[in-house]
């Protein structure tokens, strides 16, 4: 039974995937920030441009980018950062992870307190199966905004992936705990209920699985993957 459910949930993970929604913004033209360095540890394909130290030339390019971007957003770094973060999500959903990472980095360069940038870093790392690193950025995002229900949902997926990787029960418990916290913020977020239904099935807790499944179906049946619906019918 448990082996069957584990296989089912491995199929469900992509279907219950990352939930950040993209808001459409008017396109504005700005210069491109520093792309990369000859130093392998400085790259715009790594979160926050990587652990390496930027050269004076790259720092100057970054400063010029920031100045130019702020002109387009009335000197407001938060608005400028939000724009680049929104563009990053668009590229993410187009499966262009490299360009998405570049835009998240630009957003971070403009506003290091923009939780959406760290959320984006975490999601991209998780997509690349770098789950341990993903956890670090999810934790940073939550520290900046602990009131975003969708963030808890996405974070939980990383813990579930870690569980599938090493079968360590603590990861499963951590993921469920995150989802339960998310429901305290938004009890009507259908995807969280669908996720809880799936993973309580893995724990063979049928009453809780059924409870969350029914709520998810009432809130938004389209969010509930068909494999999960079929499995619940067999309970």
pLDDT of residue 9: 57
CATH code: domain of residue 56: 1.25.40.10
Tally of domains in the chain: 2
Q: What is the pLDDT of residue 124?
A: 96
Q: Would residue 92 count as lying in a domain?
A: yes
Q: Which of 47, 156, 169 is nearest to 112 (CA)?
A: 47
Q: Is 36 helix (H, G, I), strand (E, B) or coil?
A: strand
Would residue 25 count as lying in a domain?
no
Q: What pLDDT does residue 141 have?
A: 98
Find the domain containing 88 and state its range.
52-145
- Based on the domain organization, do 58 and 141 belong to the same domain? yes
Contacts of 219 (CB under 8 A, 6+ apart): 188, 189, 190, 193
Q: Which of 115, 145, 175 is the last residue of a domain?
A: 145
Which residues partner with 39 through β-bridges?
A: none
Our measurement of the distance from residue 184's CA atom to the centroid of its chain's CA atoms, rounded to an integer in Å, reads 19
Residue 43's DSSP bridge partners are: 36
Q: What is the pLDDT of residue 42?
A: 86
Same domain, 76 and 115: yes
Token reading at 41: 């540890």
Check whether residue 127 and residue 139 sit in a common domain: yes
Q: Do 203 and 157 sit in the same domain of this protein?
A: yes
Task: Answer yes or no: do 127 and 70 share one domain.
Answer: yes
Ramachandran area for residue 113 (φ above 0: left; ψ -120 to 50: alpha; else beta): alpha
- Please indicate, yes or no, if residue 13 is contained in any of the structural domains: no
H or E element, residue 142: helix 131-144
Give the model's pLDDT for residue 202: 81
Within-domain flag for 57: yes
Number of residues in the chain: 235
Q: Which residues contact 180 (CB under 8 A, 6 or more apart)?
A: 196
Check whether residue 59 and residue 136 sit in a common domain: yes
Between CA 201 and CA 110 the distance in angstroms is 43
pLDDT at 38: 38
Contact 12, 224 (CB under 8 A): no
State residue 6's pLDDT score: 53
User: Which structure tokens are listed for 166?
Assistant: 């090493």
pLDDT averaged over 10-residue windows placed end to end, the chain, 235 residues: 52 54 38 45 92 92 96 95 97 95 98 98 95 97 97 92 87 93 96 90 90 96 87 82
Residue 217: inside a domain, yes or no? Answer: yes
Same domain, 166 and 124: no
Residue 122 belongs to some domain of the structure: yes
Half-sphere exposure of 14 (CA within 13 A, CB side): 6
Residue 34 lies in a domain: no
Q: How many CA atoms lie within 13 A of 11 on its CB side?
A: 12
Q: What is the pLDDT of residue 19?
A: 53
Residue ending a domain, choose from 145, 160, 195: 145
Report if residue 14 sits inside a domain: no
Note whether 137 and 184 are same-domain residues.
no
**Structural domain ending residue among the three candidates 86, 118, 145:** 145
């Amino acid at each position: 039974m448990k082996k069957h459910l584990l296989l089912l949930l491995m199929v469900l993970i992509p279907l219950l995937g990352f939930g950040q929604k993209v808001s459409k913004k008017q396109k504005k033209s700005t210069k491109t920030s520093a792309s990369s360095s000859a130093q392998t540890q400085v790259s715009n394909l790594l979160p926050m441009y990587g652990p390496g130290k930027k050269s004076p030339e790259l720092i100057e390019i970054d400063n010029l980018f920031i100045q130019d971007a702020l002109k387009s957003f009335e000197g407001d770094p938060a608005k400028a950062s939000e724009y680049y973060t929104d563009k990053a999500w668009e590229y993410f959903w187009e499966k262009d992870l490299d360009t998405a990472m570049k835009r998240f980095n630009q957003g971070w360069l403009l506003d290091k307190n923009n939780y959406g940038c760290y959320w984006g870093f975490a999601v991209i790392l998780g997509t690349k199966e770098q789950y341990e690193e993903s956890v670090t950025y999810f934790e940073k995002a939550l520290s900046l905004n602990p009131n975003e229900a969708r963030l808890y949902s996405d974070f939980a997926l990383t813990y579930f992936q870690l569980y599938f990787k090493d079968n360590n029960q603590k990861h499963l418990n951590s993921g469920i705990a995150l989802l339960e916290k998310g429901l305290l913020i938004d009890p009507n977020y259908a995807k969280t209920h669908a996720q809880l239904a799936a993973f309580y099935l893995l724990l063979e807790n049928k009453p809780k699985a059924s409870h969350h499944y029914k709520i998810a179906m009432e809130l938004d049946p389209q969010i509930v993957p068909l494999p999960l619906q079929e499995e619940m019918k067999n309970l």
